[in-house]
Amino acid sequence: MAPAFTEHTSEPAVYTTDVLVVGSGPVGATYARKLVDAGIEVLMVEIGSQENPIPGEHKKNAIAYQKDLNSFSSAVNAELNLLSVPTTPNVFPTTEPISFSSKGTIHNGQNPRQDAFFNIPAAGASRTVGGMGAHWTCCTPEEHPKIERSNLFSNDEWESLYAEARSLIGTTREAFEISIRQQLVKRTLQKAWSHTGREFLPMPLAVKRSKINFDYLTWGSPATVFGNITRTVDRPGAPNFTLLPEHRCTRIEFDTYSNEINGVLGRNLRTNKDVLFKAKKYVICAGSVLTPGILYNSGLQPKLPALGRYLSEQIMTFCQIILKKSLIDEVPRDPYGLGWDKIAAEHHKKHPSDPLPFPFNDPDPQVTSPVSEKFQWHTQIHRDAFTYGQIPPDIDQRTVVDLRFYCKTDPHHDNYVEFTNDIKDTFGMPQPTFHFQIKDYEAKRAHEMMLDMQRVAGDLGGYVPGQSPHYLPPGSALHITGTTRAGTSEHDSVCNKNGKVWGTNDLYVGGNGVIPTGTACNPTLTSMCFAIVGANTIIAELGKDAKK
């Protein structure tokens, strides 16, 4: 059944439900799916619009982007809103003297409090149904048990949680193993590094290749996690799930005396009218920066000294290479006995003017070298579209490989995001300001990663002009963690391992911000593990018949 709705002329419209979930990304979707499957009524609110008829669908599932991956970069760029832009003087030498100029404005994320030296300039939020999950890379590795993973759960518990998370999002290592370039890149690196024992493996990806159309991929997204609980043109959805897009979560309202939650005040951004959401449990999954902003706006900062603190973000290096001619020339000779000779011959027969032996529909490579004790960084040796790294149209994309290497920064109390009420962001919420600095030992680790990336790149080819190895601006990974970290004490964490916020009975947080450790790999699967635990806790507390 749909959540009860009551409208008053002079007061906010009221929605009542069992569980309110704020945010529709992969973590919010995990909470919703498990709760709905358990018979619990869920109302999900999302500040962004529903841009796809399938709620939370990955935008890269569109045929146009699969035909031209390079064009997807502009779609990703359009989705991201920068979170804190240092204010600069609005003065240009060629501006007419009669024109307005100032020391800076505070509109559209501009922030006069932001010190550029301590900023995370590429940190962004994606406000759309599906959140970052509508355009993410779908890479779903697991944290290294010694280098990245927290000890809040036992190894057996982690293994079970990761297995469930993989099932929900659809992780596989098989979808690209049919690719000649995949095998060429993987085997070239395995051979080059065989003396070190280093692994080069198919990248774990949330993706499914069509059995009907070999060329078509369904990329994993919140829509994958939702399953059939959402309503589309082809299905009614679950009767105990409702999604409200374009609704802002403004603040949590607490009773002054009992500290119980009276509800969550929100706003319908279409009508610009306040609404009140009343539930038995509340789950805030609005992202690593916006979630602590909601808690700050709810007056919880004095009670949660770790709120926004222990912020970690990965250091990221990037380059693009064009495969060596000698490697490409190996393909017709089929050195590994994988049938490349027949495929190359058939391709040449159909397209005699094509100088490459790869079929036009040969899938892109997707290879990784996992985090290890000797190489403490996550690697993606592949092709994908981001806000950077577009390929010039005169370079054949079949010859290009991207290298994205990520190393962790550790959680430090003095790395944090703070909020202020006197300046609002574009959506009327407290403006975030970053205070982030890389420590000397972390910079050294990043330098070692850069040297490693250069060695790996050299095994494969030469650099695309303008894309030699370089560091990307902080925040480019979009993997901020720690801002609502889980732990065992309210002094250095925001919630317990179940996601329940300290000092509250019915408030939970989810997302990458809950991860308490520095992580080098993509954090989504780990965040889903925490969401699984949180959802199980709520199910146990409410029972299967929550409305009774």
Q: Which residue has the tokens 């993989």?
A: 166
Alpha carbon of residue 268 to chain centroid: 26
* Confidence class for position 3, pLDDT limits 50, 70, 90: confident
pLDDT above 90 for 104: no
Taking the C-alpha atoms of residue 250 and residue 433, their distance in angstroms, rounded to an integer, is: 18
pLDDT > 80? residue 385: no
Which of residues 324 and 91 earns the better pLDDT score?
Answer: 324
Using the Cα atoms of residue 34, residue 131, residue 267 and residue 306 in order, give the sign of their dihedral: positive
Q: Is 435 a catalytic residue?
A: no
Find, among 21, 482, 149, 110, the residue nearest to 289 by Cα.
482
Quick check: is 522 catalytic? yes
| DSSP E strand stretches across 157-291 | 171-172, 201-202, 205-209, 217-219, 241-245, 247-254, 261-268, 273-278, 281-284
The one catalytic residue in 382, 479, 496, 512 is 479
In this model, does residue 506 exceed pLDDT 50?
A: yes
Residue 1: the pLDDT is 60
Cβ-based neighbour number of residue 246 at 10 Å: 17
Query: Residue range 209-236: average pLDDT?
Result: 94
DSSP state of 377: S
Helix (H, G, I), strand (E, B) or coil at 196: helix
Sequence-separated (6 or more) residues with CB below 8 Å from residue 141: 203, 204, 368, 370, 371, 378, 521, 522, 525
- Above 90 in pLDDT, residue 176? yes
* pLDDT at position 546 over 60: no
> Around Cβ 78, how many Cβ atoms within 10 Å?
13
Instruction: Tell me the pLDDT band of 548, cut-offs 50, 70 and 90.
Output: very low
Report the share of the chain in percent with pLDDT over 70. Answer: 94
List the catalytic residue out of 119, 496, 512, 522. 522
Q: Give the pair of three-digit tokens for residue 95.
A: 């501006």
Q: Check if the beta carbon of residue 354 is closer than 8 Å to that of residue 346.
A: no
Mean pLDDT of the chain: 93
Q: Of the candidates 128, 124, 127, which has an alpha carbon nearest to the alpha carbon of residue 51?
A: 128
Residue 263 has pLDDT above 90, yes or no: yes
pLDDT at position 345 over 60: yes
What does pTM read for this prediction?
Answer: 0.94
Position with higher pLDDT, 103 vs 62: 62
SS3 state of residue 151: coil
